[in-house]
Each structure stands twice: as structure tokens, then as C-alpha cells.
Amino acid sequence: MSKEMEFFTFLMEQYARYKNTTADKVLHQLDELNLTDYVFGMYEMYHSEAIENAFADIDKLIEAKSK
């Protein structure tokens, strides 16, 4: 497994805990909004800063796409 995939899995699990849901549900929502590849591609930024910043960014992305 690549370091990017390992981090993406970790991020989905932690974000799900933050949102009080499951990683499967988070991934399903990202898939529906066509955001999965984008979030996966943000590895360089997300892994180098506080994970809470990634959570805030994902929240903003979901909100923007859900409108």
C-alpha cells in the first residue's frame, strides 16, 4: 500500500470519528460529490499540517458541493 493510500485511509477514519459517523459513509459522501480523488490528491498538503486543517477543508469542500 502506498504512503498516500495509508494516509488517505487514516484521514477517512479520523474524519469519520470527528463527524461521529463511519469511514464508509464519509467515503460514500465524497464519492457522490466527486470529491474522493481531489481529497486523495491533497496528500502533500494534508499530511504536512494539523489534521484539523484537513477536516476544515473537507467540511468546506462538502458544503460547497452540496449547495
Dump pLDDT digits (tens) for 9-35: 999 999 999 999 999 999 999 999 999
3-state SS track over the chain = CCHHHHHHHHHHHHHHHHCCCCHHHHHHHHHHCCCHHHHHHCHHHHCCCCHHHHHHHHHHHHHHHHC
Mean pLDDT, the chain, as a whole number? 96
Query: What pLDDT score was predicted for residue 21?
Result: 98
Q: Dihedral through CA 22, CA 24, CA 26, CA 32, nearest 10? A: -150
Per-residue pLDDT, averaged over 58-64, amounts to: 97
| CA 48 from centroid of its chain's CA atoms | 14
CA dist., res. 13 & res. 10, Å (int): 5
